[in-house]
Amino acid sequence: MIEVTGLSKTFKVSTKEPGLMGSLRGLVKRKYITKAALQNVSLKVQQGEMVGLIGANGAGKTTLVKILAGIIHPTEGQVSVLGHNPWDRNDQLRRQMALIMGQKAQLWYDLPALDSYMLLKEIYQIPDALYKQQIEFLSDVLQIKDQLKVQVRKLSLGERMKVELMGALLHRPNVVYLDEPTIGLDLMAQKAVRKFLKDYQREFKPIILLTSHYMEDIKELCPRVVLIKSGGLIYDGALTTIQKQFGERKKLVLTFEEKLTALPEFPAELGLLEMSENKLSLTTSRALLNSAMDVLLKKFQPQDVTIQDPPIEEVIEDFLQKGRA
C-alpha cells in the first residue's frame, strides 16, 4: 500500500533580470523565489490499484512520483510505500518497485536489450527460473521477441518503449510508477502499450501510478484518478464520477432530414448554437438544458434528438481550470 500524508515540496529557484546588467546584478546578489511544487497532498493507494495522476505541465505530478520513488526528498509530510520510507532508499523497497519514464531511456543505448536485461537480473538478483519466465512472458505479450537482440538505438520509438517496459518489469515489481509511458508513440504503439499494461495489471496486481497527458491512457487504464493543480490535490476518485458530477456542459444535437440553409435565431444566454449540414448542435450548461430544448423543439421538428456528455478531456480541462474540490 502507498500512504501519503500532508506531503509538500518546495523548490528554491534563482531568478534573473533580462540583459547583461541583470546578469551582473545576479552575480553580486542573486534573487530567489520559492516554488511550491506540492502542497499538503494526502492519498492512499491499495495493492492492485491503478491510479491516474492528471494535471497540467508543472502541476506537480512528476514531483509526486519522484518523491514516492525515493528520488527526491519532500519538504514536509510522510510517505509510506509498502511499509518503507522511500527516501531511505533501502534495497528491500527498491527491489519491489519500478520507475518508467517515457522521456528517458534506462537501458544501454548501444547494446541489445538482452544484454541490459542480464545486468538487471544481477541488480535485482532475479532467480534464473523467474528471469526466463519473465523474458518469455513479457516478450510474448509485448510481441518483441525478434527485437531483443537488436541494439536499442536501432529500434523504433515504439519498440524502444516496449523494451524499456520489459526491462522495468523483469523483476516483477509490486509498485510501478509510469511517467508518460506513451509519449511520442504512434496510435498503434500507444494501443499496444495500453493493452500490455492492462494485461500485466490483471495478471500480477501491482500498484500502478500513471501520469499521462493522453486522456486515452487514463480512460482505458485508470478507474481512479487524482487531479493535481498547482501542487494541490483537487480531486481523488472515480473518473466516471467526474464526468457525471462535474460535466457541467451538455451537447444537444438535432438531426434533420433536409440540409439546413441558415442558422436560426436563438437566445445566446441559453448556449452556443452551431450548424453543420443537417445538424444543429447546442452546447449549454446542465441547468439550462431543459429551457434550451423547449425553445428549440418549439421552433423545429427534428428527425432525431440526442444529448451528449462532453468528452472527458473537456471535463478535466474545465475542472482543472476551476480548481474545484
Residues forming contacts to another protein in the complex (CB under 8 A) are 11, 58, 62, 66, 69-73, 89, 91-92, 94-95, 97-99, 101, 103-104, 106, 108, 110-111, 115, 118-119, 122-125, 179-180
Q: Is 301 left (phi over 0), alpha (psi -120 to 50) or beta?
A: beta
Euclidean distance between CA atoms 212 and 324, whole angstroms: 21
Euclidean distance between CA atoms 70 and 80, whole angstroms: 11
Could you tell me the end-to-end alpha-carbon distance of the chain, in angstroms, rounded to an integer?
24
Residue number with CB closer to another protein (162 or 249): 162
Residue number with CB closer to another protein (71 or 305): 71
Q: Which three cell numbers stand for residue 164?
A: 524499456
Residue number with CB closer to another protein (69 or 312): 69
| Residues 309, 228, 237, 186, CA torsion sign | positive
Residue 110 CB, nearest distance to another protein (Å)? 5
**Which ranges of 205-260 does DSSP label H, i.e. alpha helix?**
215-221, 239-246
Residues in the chain: 325
Euclidean distance between CA atoms 92 and 79, whole angstroms: 16
Residue 300 CB, nearest distance to another protein (Å)? 50
Residue number with CB closer to another protein (82 or 238): 82
Euclidean distance between CA atoms 237 and 201, whole angstroms: 19
Q: Which three cell numbers stand for residue 5?
A: 500524508
Residue number with CB closer to another protein (99 or 254): 99
Residue 317 CB, nearest distance to another protein (Å)? 20
Residue 268 CB, nearest distance to another protein (Å)? 42
Residue 153 CB, nearest distance to another protein (Å)? 11
Residue number with CB closer to another protein (159 or 180): 180
- HSE (side-chain half, CA atoms, 13 Å) at 216: 15
Residue 9 CB, nearest distance to another protein (Å)? 9
Residue number with CB closer to another protein (125 or 261): 125
Q: How many helices (H) and strands (E) does the chain have?
A: 11, 13
Residue 118 CB, nearest distance to another protein (Å)? 6
